[in-house]
A and B are shown apart, each in its own frame.
Chain A
Amino acid sequence: MIRRISQKIYIGLIFVFLYAPILTLMVLSFNASKSRAKWGGFTLKWYSQLFQNQDIMEALWNTLAIAGLSALAATLIGTMTCVALGGMKKRSRTLIMGITNIPMLNAEIVTGISLMLLYISLNMRLGFFTVLCSHITFNIPYVILSVMPRMHQLNPNTYEAALDLGASHLQAFFRVTLPDLMPGILSGFLMAFTMSLDDFVITHFTKGPGIDTLSTKIYTEVRKGIKPEIYALSTIIFVAVLLLLFLVNYTPREKGPKKERRL
């Protein structure tokens, strides 16, 4: 009994530790005073000013576009790679997985500067496109690592059965293999999207002047003081995702024998 209670308390403390800053930001988004140090009364003005702020809206658009496009491209390339890995020898598989682990294990700062050196020596102008390529690069491993386990669980007999029943290889792939891989692909996409959204370091080195994502915008504002509109925007994003998660988790859906791993 005491054990249960102390476990609850421990989880509660960790929860507070992880969520205290988030709560702080939410409270600050309603703070009428521009200073983050004192409470100036409740206001919604930052929320209304947010949508008139061209800079922030543009950064938001860049962030979402880069996250969406890079997650999509990474999902496509990553899934193709996983399918290909299935038919490969162990040695080439180990090699590819080894390369895949490089961006996961290497320091973000090193990945960032190495990509910056590449773009500059290729005479590419640092901007939206270079950031996009960088994000695709660090997103592919997340997709591969979440599709790969599904790949191992595939039952080769179902694919063979589809072929026996007259499906072409392509048909069998799209109607048998792909649906089986779908949960892994989806979670890989979501993971990639989240990682791209939250990235700062690699964007910082590869973005060049004139373009900002939310992260880089916030970083330049850290010294000068962050505009309260940013708090308002983050609160909206956070609450939207929270609602979405609740919707997904609490909508009744068909009960199946398959247990999904969505992490």
Chain B
Amino acid sequence: MNKKALSAPYLFWSALFIIVPLCMVFYYGLTDKSGAFTLQNILAIARAEHAKALWQALLLSLGSTVLCLLLAYPLAMILCSMRTRQHSFLVLIFILPMWMNFLLRTFAWLTLLEKTGVVNNVLSFLGLPPLNIINTPSAIVLGMVYNFLPFMVLPIYNTLAKIDQNVIAAARDLGANGVQTFLRITLPLSVPGVISGITMVFVPALTTFVISTILGGSKILLIGNVIEQEFTQTGNWHLGSGLSIVLMMFIILNMVVSAVTDKDGEVNAL
């Protein structure tokens, strides 16, 4: 039995459904309606409305990536320190919510964040000023953090869990205090996880159109919204593909940065 032949179905499948479709995006993006080569669809990113959408998307996705990192790192450390039943706990926190549709979960934030909603009731009970962030960029960032936090926690958790406890013990023996051990041992060793987490949060956040539609009240257009409209409403596939190519450049840039920093080369998905 030739084992290699077993990869044939996947090779065929990935050629047809991964490689060819990507080539088509490039074909559409680099041609106009008559089929002639053009760079217009890509340069269209410089048009005011597109540039603004891209800028907004970059700002919001960078913001939510930083927030995710700040929230996720301590969480991953805590999860690592509790050895008992941690596995079922991880599932409970991150996998289980996925069984409730993510559109609905995002939509539920509208109810929570309303002027007289649950969050504001709690805030006024605590004597704090109300939060009016529905249909603002802040609500979109909240939606991004909410949806993509697991993608930051899991890779960081995986690298932290792999750190040899003896290394940390050695650092302590050699006189480092807790902060020093963290800064000079734990943090550097967890960089691959952090990088992979950043990639996994930044890309979906940069390209989302769903979260901005639901929580931004369709007033805030991100680059994802613009592309989605080109395909489903305006019907200008060439322009839509051109803008997608621009988007992919950011993704590739992100991947190159993470490939350079992560010497292992293997993408640790979950």
Contacts and interface: CB of A to CB of B under 8 A. Distances in A.
Interface in A167-224: 169-170, 173, 191, 194, 197-198, 200-201, 204-205, 214-215, 218-219, 222
A191 B93 contact: no
Contact of A218 (B87, B94, B104): B104
A37 interface: yes
A100 B14 contact: yes
B81 interface: yes
Contacts of B107: 218, 222, 226
23 contacts: A17-B146, A18-B94, A20-B118, A28-B108, A36-B110, A80-B9, A99-B19, A100-B14, A107-B206, A113-B244, A137-B18, A141-B269, A194-B95, A200-B101, A200-B210, A205-B232, A214-B101, A215-B103, A218-B107, A226-B104, A231-B104, A237-B100, A238-B100
A105 B7 CA distance: 22
B227 A113 contact: yes
Interface string B105-131: 111111110101010000000000000
B101 A215 contact: yes
Interface string B1-17: 10111110111011011
Interface in B141-170: 146, 149, 154
B92 to A, nearest CB: 8
B115 to A, nearest CB: 9
B213 interface: yes
A133 interface: yes
A44 interface: no
Interface in A75-134: 77-78, 80-81, 83-88, 96-97, 99-111, 113-118, 121, 133-134
B186 interface: no
Contacts of B241: 113, 117
Contact of B203 (A15, A105, A114, A226): A105
B212 to A, nearest CB: 12
A88 B8 CA distance: 13
A10 interface: yes
Interface of A: 7, 10-11, 14-15, 17-22, 24-25, 28, 36-37, 77-78, 80-81, 83-88, 96-97, 99-111, 113-118, 121, 133-134, 136-137, 140-142, 145-146, 169-170, 173, 191, 194, 197-198, 200-201, 204-205, 214-215, 218-219, 222, 226, 230-231, 234, 237-238, 241-242, 245, 249, 261-263
A80 B4 CA distance: 9
Given A28-B111, A222-B214, A10 B74 contact: yes
B67 to A, nearest CB: 12
A215 B102 CA distance: 8
Contact of A84 (B6, B28, B74): B6
Given A20-B112, A215-B103, A222-B213, A117 B237 contact: yes
B189 interface: no
Interface size range of chain B in the complex = 35 or more
B14 A84 contact: no
A195 B154 CA distance: 16
A25 B102 CA distance: 12
B207 interface: yes
Contacts of B88: 245, 249
A117 B231 CA distance: 10
Contact of A87 (B3, B109, B251): B3
Contacts of A21: 104-106, 108-109, 112, 146
A83 B24 CA distance: 31
B244 A10 contact: no
Contacts of A7: 78, 81-82
B211 to A, nearest CB: 11
A140 B108 contact: no
